[in-house]
Structure 1
Amino acid sequence: MSSESEKSTESTAPLWKYVTKLEKASGGGGNVTFRYDVYEESLRRLKKPKLVSLPTDSASSPNLGSIENSAATSHPFFQNKGVGNSPLEKAFNNQCQEQLDSLIARTFYSAGLPFHFAKNLYWIEMIKFATNNNNLVGYVPSGYNKLRTTLLHKERAHIEKLLKSIKETWKEKGLSMVSDGWTDIQKMSLINFMATSEKGPLFIKSIDGTKECKDKHFISDLFLKVISEVGHQHVVQIITDNASVLKAVGSIIAAEYPHIFWSPCVVHTLNLALRNICAPKNSLQNEVLYNECKWIAQVADEATFIRIFITNHSMRLVTFNSYSPLKLLVVAETFALIIITLKRLFQVKQHL
C-alpha cells in the first residue's frame, strides 16, 4: 500500500483511531507493526469485575443503588446513631435488610455456591457478628492472599492446639486404629486411617491406592507407617472389615508389634450376616439356612422388581407420585437397600 493510500484509508476508516503505528526495526526493512489500543482497553475492562445492580436498588434505598455503599451504616441517616423505632427509621432499617439479603443472594448465585451452604453454622455466626457489632463500620473483608496465608496458618495452628488435647489421652488409655477403603466420585480408590479413643475420632491420613495392588503386603506397610507416626506404644488394636487379606494384615501387624491385635468390624459382620439372611445361597452347606430364609429372598426380589418398574417408567412414576406422598428411596447396593425398600413399600401401603 502506498503512503497516499494509507493516509486516505486512515482518514476514512473510523477504527484507525484505535491503532498506533510502531517504528520499523533497525535498518528500515520489514513490515510496519501496529499496537491495537482498543484491544488493550478491552483487556483492562475485562480484568475489572463488573458489578450488576441488585433487585432492591432504587433512588429511595439507603445506598442509592450503589453496591460500594451497600453497608447500612454508611448512609448519613445512621451516622452516630442507632436504628430507632420511628416509622422513618424502621423503613430505612427494612430497606437495609432487604439490600443485605440481595447482596447475600447475589454472592451465592455469582459464585455458584450450593444453597445448603446457607445452613453453615460459621456462615450464620459471621453474618450475626458483622451486623450486630458497631465497631465494624467500614470493615473490608480479608483478601485472597490473606485468606490463603496468614489466616490459614492461624487456623491450622488453632486446630492443632485443639487436637493436642485428644492426642494427650493416647498416652494414658491408648487408641484404636480404624481403616477402610472407599471410592470417590472420580473412581479413585482411597484408603482412610483414623485414630479413635475415649476423646473421639481423629482423622490421620488418606492414601490413594488406585494404581496399587492392594494385597496384604501393601496394606500392612501402610498400617506400619501410620502406627509409627502416632507411636506404636499408644496403639491397642487395628479395626478393619472381615476380608481375608485384612485378616492377614492383622497377623503381620501382630508379628511386628505383639501388643497390637486385629479386630473385625462389627458393622461389616452384621452386613455379612444380614446379606446371608436376605439373599441366602442354595448349597449343601447352607441348605437349612436356605429353606428357612428363601421366602425373604422371594419377597425382596418382588419388592426390587416393583421399585425398578415404577422408577424406570415415567408414566408409572407420575401415577405413583399422584397417589403417594412418599418417594421410593434408592441407596447403595448393600443389605440395607433390601430392608429400606421393604420398609418404604410397607409405609406406602399404609398411606394408600
Structure 2
Amino acid sequence: MEAIGQFGANAMPPTRYEMGDSYLKKEVEKTKTSLKKYQEEWKFIGCSIMTDAWSNRQRRSIMNLFVNSKLGTVFLSSKECSNEAHTSEMIFEYVDKCIEEVPENVVQVVTDNASNNMGASKLLKEKRPTIFWTSCATHTINLMLEAIGGLTRYKKIIDQAKKLTVFIYSHHKSLALMRKYTKKRNIIRPGVTRFASTFLTLQSLSEKRVQLRNMFTSKEWEDCKLAKR
C-alpha cells in the first residue's frame, strides 16, 4: 500500500492474465524452492505420509495427503472423491501413487482406524513390505474415550455435565456469574477431539466444583430469575 501511494494515482495494477499466468508461475516456483529443505530432510531421515478425509460445506468428499517429518507437515495432494466409493483399493491406489512422488523416503503411512483404511494397509504391505502402516494415535484415543463415555455409569454424568455447561453458556447472566466466581476461568476445555473435550470439561468442572457451589448458593444467584429454571 505504501509503495502504491508513493507511485501515485497512475499506478497500474497487474492484469488478470498476468496474475493467472506469469505471477502465478513465479509463486509456484517460490513455493517449490521453499520446499527443498524439507525434501532434503526426507532423503536423510525419511518421512511419513498422512491421510485426511473430510466433507466440505457442499458435502463434497475430499481426501488430502500430507508429508510429515521433523521439520513439519507439507501438503502433498488433494483429491475430490464424491463420485467414488471409498474402498480399500481406491485409498491404496491414491496413497501408492503419492508414495511414488517421494521415492525411497517414505517410512510409514498414517491413517485412522476405519475398516477401508485397514484393508488398504494390507494391500500396501503386499506391494511395499518395507513401509509401515500406522493407525492414528489421536483417532485411537478418540474411539477409546467414545466407548468409555457410552458406558452407563459415565453416560449419565456426561449428559448432566453437558446440560449444565450448555445452560451456563446460553445466558449472559449465568456466564458472567460463573466467570466472576471462577476468576474469569472457563469451565469448557477444548481438546484435540470431541470426546477428549468431554472428559477435559468433566475434569474442569471437578476442579472448579467449590467455586460453582459458591455461585449457586450465593445471594446473586438467588436474586437471578434463572435460579427458578
The two structures have a TM-score, normalised by structure 1, of 0.51
Give me the whole-angstrom Cα distance separating, in 2, the residues matched to 1:142 and 1:273: 55
Give me the whole-angstrom Cα distance separating, in 1, the residues matched to 2:20 and 2:150: 52
Give me the whole-angstrom Cα distance separating, in 2, the residues matched to 1:277 and 1:195: 32
The match for 2:119 is 248
Q: CA deviation at 1:339?
A: 2.5
Match for residue 85 of structure 2 among 213, 233, 241: 213
Give me the whole-angstrom Cα distance separating, in 1, the residues matched to 2:73 and 2:119: 25
Change (3 A) 1:141 1:336: farther
- Once the two structures are superposed, the pairs formed by residues 143-158 of structure 1 within 5 Å of their partners are 143-145=14-16, 146-158=18-30
The match for 1:288 is none
Determine whether 1:234 maps to 2:105: yes
Asked if the contact 1:324–1:348 (Cα under 8 Å) also holds between the matched residues in 2, the reply is: no
Specify the SS of the correspondent of 1:324.
helix
Structure 1: where are the runs of 5+ without partners?
Answer: 1-126, 282-293
Q: CA deviation at 1:172?
A: 2.2
Report the AA paired with residue 106 of structure 2: V
Report the AA paired with residue 302 of structure 1: Q
Q: CA deviation at 1:153?
A: 1.9
Give me the whole-angstrom Cα distance separating, in 1, the residues matched to 2:194 and 2:126: 34
Specify the SS of the correspondent of 2:85.
coil
The match for 1:165 is 37
Asked if the contact 1:175–1:197 (Cα under 8 Å) also holds between the matched residues in 2, the reply is: yes
Specify the SS of the correspondent of 2:43.
helix
Change (3 A) 1:153 1:349: farther
Determine whether 1:334 maps to 2:194: yes
Asked if the contact 2:48–2:108 (Cα under 8 Å) also holds between the matched residues in 1, the reply is: yes
Change (3 A) 1:187 1:329: farther
Q: CA deviation at 1:194?
A: 0.5
Give me the whole-angstrom Cα distance separating, in 1, the residues matched to 2:53 and 2:142: 16
Change (3 A) 1:323 1:144: farther
The match for 1:305 is 163
Q: State the structure with bigger RCO (CA 8 A, min sep 6), 1 or 2.
A: 2
- Once the two structures are superposed, the pairs formed by residues 116-195 of structure 1 within 5 Å of their partners are 130=2, 136-138=6-8, 140=11, 142-145=13-16, 146-195=18-67
Which of these two proteins has the greater Rg computed from alpha carbons?
1
Give me the whole-angstrom Cα distance separating, in 2, the residues matched to 1:142 and 1:250: 51
Q: CA deviation at 1:225?
A: 1.3
The match for 1:117 is none
Q: CA deviation at 1:343?
A: 4.9
Report the AA paired with residue 192 of structure 1: N
Give me the whole-angstrom Cα distance separating, in 1, the residues matched to 2:140 and 2:73: 21
Give me the whole-angstrom Cα distance separating, in 1, the residues matched to 2:197 and 2:149: 10
Give me the whole-angstrom Cα distance separating, in 2, the residues matched to 1:341 and 1:255: 44
Q: CA RMSD in A?
A: 3.1
Asked if the contact 1:217–1:249 (Cα under 8 Å) also holds between the matched residues in 2, the reply is: yes
Structure 2: where are the runs of 5+ without partners?
Answer: 216-229
Q: How many residue pairs were aligned?
A: 204
Asked if the contact 1:279–1:297 (Cα under 8 Å) also holds between the matched residues in 2, the reply is: yes
Change (3 A) 1:345 1:142: farther
Give me the whole-angstrom Cα distance separating, in 1, the residues matched to 2:77 and 2:47: 16
Note the alpha carbon deviations across 1:287-344, whole angstroms, 9 max, x for none. Answer: xxxxxxx2x3321111122344566xxxx72442352346775979820342354356
Superposed structure 1 runs of 4+ greater than 6 Å apart:
330-333
Match for residue 264 of structure 1 among 105, 110, 135: 135
The two structures have a TM-score, normalised by structure 2, of 0.74
Give me the whole-angstrom Cα distance separating, in 2, the residues matched to 1:349 and 1:190: 46
Report the AA paired with residue 156 of structure 2: Q
Note the alpha carbon deviations across 1:211-231, whole angstroms, 9 max, x for none. Answer: 211111111111111112222
Identical columns (%) = 27
Report the AA paired with residue 238 of structure 1: V
Note the alpha carbon deviations across 1:157-215, whole angstroms, 9 max, x for none. Answer: 11111112211222222211111211222222211100112332111111112221111
Q: CA deviation at 1:256?
A: 0.7
